[in-house]
């Protein structure tokens, strides 16, 4: 898919951004079916000073996303389960406010959360339709380490859910964010998500809570790719794996062998599918316990990772949260630190967040609906190569 940006006229005759943005808004209104309605919306807030440069028309080529049956299945699953909470489309005022936030920043840090991934069909925990709403309790770090039964349950569910989890595609929000990053409008990105959808969209964020795409030993630190671990599980449990893979998971029903999709890629399945004779591969280096390289509930973010995120938060001039309720301290402390260091702060999220009382700009909208619109506005337009 390609997104064609509007061609802006020569700067000659325009003294400041107010004139130029006013012309762009008029052009948008005249070409948009809702133009008459938009003509009554508040115009851009004026900026002082002169425009330093002019951007020419550009074409953004988004990465191609496969349209095979897996992708359609993921789309149908998202639509039916209504994973993304309802929100009115972002208004022109919302877009203008977010534009100003970006435009005034020279060192912007972005933190993303589960609200990014729900738009790709991956459930979250805390939204009205999230996993917590059904009484689900995720496994804790302590439970995983002390109980072989808990590890069997986790890895059986995770193996069963892996195929669906990896079928998810980056959303328009992921892609727009990557475009803004590559154009130099974002200095540093941090994500709470473990699904690597940002990477598939072209970004390379600091993964605050790790990733399910890597499996690591809790004893010696040896790690291996998740796909290789999946192969090992299948090799050790061939009949079990064949039985799981032969079961047809209906995306419109949670009754298919009693399973429900979960936020971290695992699936809730009946005990009969994992309790007996399920073998978990051991670390090939020290025979230790293997777990996904993810910060489970009850565990701490590795110090080096936490320090890198905090350094970015304290050193930025603007901090933007996208799709996170900030209920975990590892995330909340970052925006709090940025605020205390004097940075501008803003949140785009559907529903309440832990930082609502300290952040001056809060927009209730889907990230995938507001960020693409930002690519058409003023100095955020992506320059031609």
Q: Show binding-site residues.
A: 192-195, 217, 220, 283, 286, 323-325, 349-351, 367
Please give the radius of gyration of the chain, using alpha carbons only, rounded to the nearest integer: 23
Q: Distance (Å, rounded) from C-alpha 80 to C-alpha 180?
A: 31
Q: Which residue out of 174, 185, 198, 209 is catalytically annotated?
A: 209
Q: Distance (Å, rounded) from C-alpha 198 to C-alpha 179?
A: 11
Residue 174 annotated in active site: no
Could you list the residues known to form a binding site for Zn(2+), using ranges. 217, 220, 283, 286
Q: How many helices (H) and strands (E) does the chain have?
A: 14, 13
Helix (H, G, I), strand (E, B) or coil at 261: strand
How long a stretch of residues is the chain? Answer: 385
Q: Distance (Å, rounded) from C-alpha 193 to C-alpha 335?
A: 17
Q: Distance (Å, rounded) from C-alpha 107 to C-alpha 318?
A: 6
Q: Distance (Å, rounded) from C-alpha 313 to C-alpha 330?
A: 12
DSSP tag of 281? P
Task: Answer whether 3's CB lies under 8 Å from 59's CB.
Answer: yes
Task: Find, among 204, 151, 144, the residue nearest to 174 by Cα.
Answer: 204
Could you list the residues known to form a binding site for NAD(+), using ranges. 192-195, 323-325, 349-351, 367
| Active site (catalytic) residues | 209
């Amino acid at each position: 898919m390609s997104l064609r940006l509007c061609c802006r006229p020569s700067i000659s005759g325009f003294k400041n951004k107010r004139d130029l943005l006013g012309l762009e808004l008029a052009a948008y209104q005249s070409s948009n079916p809702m133009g008459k309605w938009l003509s009554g919306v508040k115009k851009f807030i004026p900026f002082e000073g002169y425009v330093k440069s002019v951007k020419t028309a550009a074409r953004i080529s988004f990465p191609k996303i496969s349209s095979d049956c897996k992708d359609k299945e993921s789309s149908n699953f998202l639509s039916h389960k209504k994973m993304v909470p309802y929100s009115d489309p972002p208004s022109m005022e919302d877009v203008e406010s977010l534009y100003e936030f970006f435009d005034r920043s020279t060192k912007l840090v972005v933190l993303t959360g589960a609200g990014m991934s729900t738009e790709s069909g991956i459930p979250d925990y805390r939204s009205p339709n999230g996993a917590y709403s059904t009484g689900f309790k995720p496994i804790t770090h302590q439970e995983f380490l002390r109980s072989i039964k808990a590890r069997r349950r986790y890895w059986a569910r995770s193996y069963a859910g892996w195929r669906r989890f990896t079928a998810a595609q980056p959303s328009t929000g992921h892609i727009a964010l990557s475009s803004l990053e590559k154009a130099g409008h974002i200095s540093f990105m941090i994500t709470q998500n473990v699904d690597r959808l940002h990477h598939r969209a072209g970004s390379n964020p600091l993964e605050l809570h790790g990733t399910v795409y890597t499996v690591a030993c809790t004893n010696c630190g040896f790690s291996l790719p998740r796909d290789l671990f999946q192969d090992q599980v299948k090799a050790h449990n061939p009949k079990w794996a064949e039985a799981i893979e032969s079961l047809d998971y209906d995306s419109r029903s949670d009754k298919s062998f009693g399973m429900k999709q979960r936020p971290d890629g695992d699936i809730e399945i009946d005990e009969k599918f994992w309790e007996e004779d399920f073998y978990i591969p051991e670390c090939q280096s020290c025979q230790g316990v293997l777990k996904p390289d993810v910060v489970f509930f009850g565990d701490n973010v590795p110090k080096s990772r936490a320090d890198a995120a905090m350094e970015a938060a304290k050193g930025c001039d603007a901090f933007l949260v996208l799709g996170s309720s900030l209920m975990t301290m590892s995330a909340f402390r970052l925006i709090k630190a940025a605020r205390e260091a004097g940075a501008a702060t803003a949140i785009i999220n559907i529903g309440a967040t832990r930082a609502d009382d300290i952040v001056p700009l809060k927009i209730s909208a889907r990230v995938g609906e507001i960020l693409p619109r930002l690519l058409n506005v003023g100095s955020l337009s992506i320059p031609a190569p």
